[in-house]
Every structure is written in structure tokens, then in C-alpha cells.
Amino acid sequence: MKQLRLAIVGATGAVGHELIKIVQERKIPYTELRLLASKRSAGTKIDVGGKEYTVEEATLDSFRDCDAALFAGGPASKAFGRDAAEMGCVVIDNSSTFRYEPDVPLVVPEVNPEALTGHHNLIANPNCSTILLVTALWPIHKHAGVKRAIVSTYQACSGAGKEAMDELCSQSMEVLEGKPVHPEHFKYQIAFNVIPQIDVWVDDDYTKEEMKLVWETHKIMGDDSIGITPVCAVRVPVMRSHCEAVYLETEKHISPEECRELLSKEDYIVLQDDPENFVYPMPITSTDTDKTYVGRIRRDTVEPNGLNMWISFDQLRKGAATNAVQILEELIKRDLLP
């Protein structure tokens, strides 16, 4: 197996830490590991597999003679992504910078690994809420054809970065101790609250976060005819696992029992669907795993071909870092690295 000269960009952030962890867990083969970050974080010491690494400031020279780079997201993607790719380094990027560019594959390995063929050294990792949605939809779409999906997302603070997670912790303590709360990362208090806005407003009073579900699902699943309605993206006081309430309308009738059987055959899906015994997906059980948890599967009360379900997964792992590392694994497996 090819031994890589591998870079991780944004190594000191929440996603960066997960990338380092998952590269070790999944035994990605490398002869050299470069941990990169902004000038402010340069000099930080990080232990990787018992060896201490010093984080270096990311510059264009960081990617010379580099086989692959995992970008955790942020300004570095715009600053170095295209140039690093042109230098021969395969860039797998977690930001939204390149997701909608036609020459850049947008990949979830369980759904569209074939999109990696013919890549131009630049591959985009989808938005976390999109990855959660398409991993649950894909087996159903292949069997019955998804006509429409109506989705509400309930997104953990990890989706807004380490500072947001820290703010949830500190605000929770302040509220419990009766101290005044002064939001900094979010516009409003997040502890013991929900905020029905994630990202900036775009057309028709939807947020960009909501519209990512539409744009990215179409690109990944290769079907622009699927009607995707993002009802609301809600920030919730949860540390790191997202949830979604999903309504599906299919071309071909599929019963809840058939849907459960389909999903149970996928090794990346955990079926938790026994409501009478209080078994259903929750952040507390999906955290620190790489699985998509699906439950509360039931017939719609109106539409004969309609189903409702509730899904959850770890935003930092499968929603970001693990998916990126899986893309790298797929490139190695298919011999698609330069």
C-alpha cells in the first residue's frame, strides 16, 4: 500500500483533532505527517501515536512534495486549496469553498464513490447535515425512488466549531450558578435554548445552511428532480451529534417494515426503531461513532407513499473528519492518487 506524505490543515481545531484521531484509528499509511494551522496556532505541540509533533504555519510551501492534504475548513481552503491541488497534492476539503464547482467531486463514499474517478486533485467533503440525510436516503432511493424530502435539522454546537462548544459549556455553568449570560459566538444564549437560524439568510428567508441540503443532495445523489424542502435548521444545546426529522415521499410504495429491512442491510446504518421500548436515535448514543442512526420510521398520516423518520450521527466524525478520511481511503483503494 502506498505510504503517504500527508498534511492535516487546521490541526488545532475541533475537526482537525478528529482528523488526527481518525487517521490513527483507521491506520492511514504515511511516512510523513505535517500538522498545519494558522500563524496564531503555530508552535502548538500535539501528540500523535506517542510521537510529539509541532504544528507549523500553513503556507503554500507546506504542500510541496505532499501526496494528500485533509483540510479541516476555514480560510486556509480559499488561500491554498486550488494552488495545492495544482502542485500535485490531492486536497480533500471540509469547507464549502469548492462544493458547488462543477469540476470538483462532492463525495459521500457510501453513496457516490464513483464520482472520484477523474478528479483534478480537489475533492469536497459535503456539509454535515447533507451527509446525514443522504446516508439515510440512499438505500431507500435505490429501491423505491425518493420523490420528495422535507427536512428539519437539529444541529449540535460542534458544527460551529470549538469556540461554540466551549460557549455551551461556559453558559450552562453560568445559568446553573445564576450568573448573567453574555453570548459571544452565537447571537443568543445557546444554553437551555434553541436558535432557529444557522448561517446567513439567502433567498425567500431560507438560510444558506438550509439550502445546502438542496444543492448538495442533488449533486451527490445525481438527481435534480428530488424535491428537497428544508423546513428549518435549528442550533440546539447539544455538544456534537446532529439529528434530523425527515419526511419522505417515494415513487414506489414502501412500507415501514420494508424500509427497516432495507436499512438494516447497510453496515453503516444502525437501526434503533422500537418506540414502545423507548429505543430511538439520540445524540447521546450516536456520539463518538461513525454510524448513521435511524428510527421512528412510520407511515405518513396523509400521503400513501409517505414515510417519516428520525436520524442522528456524530457531526465531528462522520459529518466531517471520518467522511474525509474515508474519501482518502477510497482514493487509495481505487489507485486514484497521483
Concerning whether 185 is annotated as a catalytic residue, the answer is no
Query: Cα separations (Å) of 235 from 54, 69, 173, 238, 315?
Result: 34, 30, 19, 8, 13
Cα–Cα distance list, 326 to 19, 89, 116, 231 (Å): 11, 17, 12, 30
Task: Of 283, 184, 176, give the one whose Cα is nearest residue 240.
Answer: 283
d(CA 120, CA 116): 9
Beta strand 30-37 with 56-57 is parallel
Catalytic site residue 242? Answer: yes
The Cα 108–Cα 130 span in angstroms is 10
- End-to-end Cα distance, the chain: 14
Q: Could you give the CA distance from residue 116 to residue 114 in angstroms, rounded to a whole number?
A: 5
Residue type, 287: T
Among 66, 89, 128, 157, the active-site one is 128
Active-site residue among 66, 119, 242, 259?
242
Q: Which residues are catalytic?
A: 128, 242
